[in-house]
Amino acid sequence: MVYCSKCGSKLSDDSNFCLKCGVRTKKGIKEGVSPHWAYRSNWEQEIEDALSKAAKNVEEAFNAARENIRRSINKKPIACPKCKEENLSYHKFCYKCGKKFK
């Protein structure tokens, strides 16, 4: 049985870290096992890069949607060939009589 050098907790002989306080055991040091916090800065950078990329993609999507809405609003209405009612340019059917537009 092995004991933690920091907190004195009982550990299994094959433990690389203390389950209670997280310190590396002599076995972990001898085998060169890096503690989890050694990778933290790399993880933080990867997360920051992923969030930055996601934010850019969201911004691009909003800009594209904004432009599509602007184009739709600025188009002139179309008159239904059957009932002559004005419909928005993106309608596929007349909202009054139901005629399908070509």
More confident residue, 88 or 54: 54
Distance CA 89, CA 102 (A): 12
Residue 56 has a pLDDT of 96
Distance CA 26, CA 45 (A): 30
Domain chopping of the chain, boundaries: 1-33
Q: 37 is written with which tokens?
A: 């916090």
pTM of the entire structure? 0.38
Residue 11 clears pLDDT 80, i.e. is over it = yes
Mean per-residue pLDDT of the chain? 87
Q: At which residue do the structure tokens 């432009």 appear?
A: 67
Strand pairing of 78-79 and 10-11? unpaired
Q: 65 is written with which tokens?
A: 């949607």
Phi, psi (deg, nearest 5) at residue 62: -65, -40
Residue 40 clears pLDDT 60, i.e. is over it = no
